[in-house]
Amino acid sequence: MRSGRVAEALERDRRMQKPGYRRVFVRRAGAEPQRVGRALLGDVEDAARGQRGRDESGHANAQRWVRDSSQPFRKPAAQTSRRQLAFSLSPLLLVVMAGVVVFATRGLPDRLAPAARTAAAFSGTDVNPARAICFDGPQLPPTGCRFGASPGAQDYDVLVWGDSHADAVTPGVVTWAAARGLSVREAARGGCPPLVGVRAVAPRRGEIPGCRGVAPILLQEIADNPALKVIILAARWPIYADPKVVYDPDSPPISLQDARRTSTAAYPLGQALGRTLDAIAATHTRARILIVGPVPELTFNPPDCLAQALVLGRGEQACRGAPAALPLVRARGAEAEIRKALGLHPGVMAVFPSERLCTASSCLTARGPTLLYFDDDHLSAAGARMLLPGWLDEAFSGPGFPASRR
């Protein structure tokens, strides 16, 4: 009888005290220890039912045998308590918490050298001082955002119209205007080009809300403001010009569509800009118009680059110039579209920053101790104050325009 043989084998094995044999048997069985144990325990229990009195000890031995046989496999899990689990995970938790602290403090700034802290703090912070009021709001402020004039003033001398790049150049325009006793009005919204009658459509988001409503407001202001002397149109033009080169995943191209039609076909930037210049002319304003072309979009963030160079003890010279190949290719398409519009509007002027900041191989990111960018594509406030006055002087140096008082 098979159950009797099993019971005898169990008793013999108990007397021989060979735990190693039991372990080898279970491993050679080619099955999970618990399943093998349950099968053997069933055979032992069958024998015990027939010979309950004689084999009571054999049944107990079989239970111990099954327990001992599977113990090497169950022991690690059985001994893993919550306390041991917490102890084993504690090093990982410490690393995670340290990472959170470093992220929250932007890299343990107190341990950086003063120059490195200054460069790190510069990134994303040297922006238009009025950005929170004039740009970050949910809609275009109908009043305020006047520089050199009372907050409630209805007229102004200079209008800066555009997207975040217009907001970035405003400090430089204000510096230039203040030297001539002129007031400035900023009208800038993120992702909204200074164009009339277009839909600005972002991937996966659809039409950017609020953009189409800006142009009618500003055209009316232009028509109602006889004191207006200068209109500056500034934008991140390549993003609206169907760029062939895209290397900033956070800023995908924004397609332009003709808002006067139901078609969703692309509306070329040159045509949209030409329509805008026609609409401004239709207000009969005597203001002069200047288009600030594309600011070179770099392949790295100069403030971050400089901070890392200072921390690692590397030369900072590599951070003071960026490779020009990709920025120039990206700018050229938009510049060509702007020139198409200029060809039909000879009285409109333009300045192209790429011609002043870039050679064929490199684009300036700093001038002396001044970083010209606060990220990879926006002029810093310090950079705008350094560059824009000279560019505007070149554009408006003719007779009949207020000269600098300084």
- CA dist 75 and 72 (Å) reads 6
User: Which residues have a Cβ under 8 Å from the Cβ of 373 and sit 6 or more positions away?
Assistant: 298, 301, 302, 303, 365, 379, 380, 383
406 in any annotated domain: no
Max CA pair span of the chain: 125
80-115: pLDDT as tens digits: 455 454 445 545 544 444 444 344 344 544 445 565
Per-residue confidence (pLDDT) for residue 248, from 0 to 100: 86
401 in any annotated domain: no
Q: Which has the minimum average pLDDT: 32-36, 226-230, 315-319?
A: 32-36
Q: Which of 188, 183, 175 is nearest to 217 (CA)?
A: 188
Per-residue confidence (pLDDT) for residue 119, from 0 to 100: 59
State the alpha helices, DSSP H only, in 268-380.
Answer: 269-281, 302-312, 325-343, 353-357
Calculate what percentage of the chain has a pLDDT beyond 70.
Answer: 66
Task: Say whether pLDDT at 121 is over 70.
Answer: no
Task: Say whether pLDDT at 52 is over 80.
Answer: no
Residues 132, 247 within the same domain: yes
Calculate what percentage of the chain has a pLDDT beyond 90.
Answer: 54
Residues 355, 214 within the same domain: yes
Residues 107, 143 within the same domain: no
Q: What is the mean pLDDT of residues 284-295?
A: 97
Per-residue confidence (pLDDT) for residue 373, from 0 to 100: 96
194 in any annotated domain: yes
373 in any annotated domain: yes
Q: How confident is the model at residue 247 (pLDDT cuts 50, 70, 90)?
A: confident
Q: Which has the minimum average pLDDT: 238-252, 257-271, 277-291?
A: 238-252
- CA dist 104 and 96 (Å) reads 12
404 in any annotated domain: no
Residues 31, 139 within the same domain: no
- The larger pLDDT score, comparing residue 34 to residue 183, is at 183
- Residues 246, 174: contact at Cβ < 8 Å? no
- CA dist 247 and 326 (Å) reads 8
- CA dist 173 and 286 (Å) reads 19
The enclosing domain of 193 has a CATH number of 3.40.50.1110
400 in any annotated domain: no
Per-residue confidence (pLDDT) for residue 339, from 0 to 100: 98
Q: How confident is the model at residue 330 (pLDDT cuts 50, 70, 90)?
A: very high
Residues 74, 86 within the same domain: no
Mapped onto helix, strand or coil, the DSSP state of residue 364 is strand
Residues 230, 90 within the same domain: no
How many domains is the chain partitioned into structurally?
A: 3
The pTM score is: 0.71
- CA dist 71 and 73 (Å) reads 5
403 in any annotated domain: no
| DSSP secondary structure of 191-210 | T--S-SSEEEEETTTEEPTT
Last residue of a domain, one of 111, 129, 158: 111
Query: Which amino acid is located at 77 in the chain?
Result: A
Per-residue confidence (pLDDT) for residue 67, from 0 to 100: 45
Residues 149, 271 within the same domain: yes
Residues 353, 255 within the same domain: yes
Per-residue confidence (pLDDT) for residue 176, from 0 to 100: 97
28 in any annotated domain: yes
Bridge partner list, 160: 186, 232
Mean pLDDT of the chain, nearest integer = 78
Residues 283, 164 within the same domain: yes
Per-residue confidence (pLDDT) for residue 145, from 0 to 100: 86
Residues 15, 135 within the same domain: no
Query: What would the 3-class secondary structure string for 1-55 be?
Result: CHHHHHHHHHHHHHHHCCHHHHHHHHHHCCCCHHHHHHHHHHHHHHHHHHCCCCC
Residues 213, 265 within the same domain: yes
Residues 193, 325 within the same domain: yes
Domain span at 107: 82-111
